């Protein structure tokens, strides 16, 4: 199945992309995708315990199981206002 990963702020800087399509084999969680990203973009590990996640624009945690066509957004703690 295919999902799209969106990144923002410092995550976008560390990964070098703002949007990228990923092919997943079988049942995968947000955490599985994150671990794959840590292997490919190892400087991202420094944000490991700070990252926030949203699937289809709803906040979730790493255990969320992904579905075909999902949009997974990964970003650091927010700082608006």
Partner 1 sequence: MKKILLQKEQIDIEKAINEVGTEEDGAVVFFIGRPRKDSSICEVKYIEYEAFHSMAVKEIEKIINDAFQKWPITDCIVIHRFGRVELREASIIIAVSSHHREEAFSSVKYIIDTIKKTVPIWKTEFYFDGTSRVYDRS
Report in angstroms how near the CB of residue 80 gets to partner 1 at its nearest: 3
Please report, as ranges, the residues that interact with partner 1 according to CB under 8 A.
6, 8-10, 13, 50, 52, 54, 57, 59, 73, 75-81
Closest to partner 1 by CB, 27 vs 77, is 77
Residue 27 or 59 having the CB closest to partner 1: 59
Specify the DSSP class assigned to residue 42: G
Min dist. Cβ of residue 19 to partner 1 (A): 12
According to DSSP, the β-strands at 71-75 and 2-7 are parallel
* DSSP-derived pairing of the beta strands 19-23 and 52-55: unpaired
The values of phi and psi at residue 29, to 5°, are -105, 170
């Amino acid at each position: 199945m295919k999902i799209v990963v969106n990144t923002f702020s410092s995550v976008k800087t560390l990964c070098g992309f703002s949007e990228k399509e990923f092919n997943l084999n079988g049942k995968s969680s947000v955490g599985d995708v994150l671990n794959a990203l840590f292997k490919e973009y190892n400087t991202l590990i420094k944000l490991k315990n700070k990252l926030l996640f949203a699937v289809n624009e709803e906040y979730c945690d790493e255990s969320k199981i992904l579905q075909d066509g999902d949009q997974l957004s990964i970003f650091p703690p927010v700082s608006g206002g």
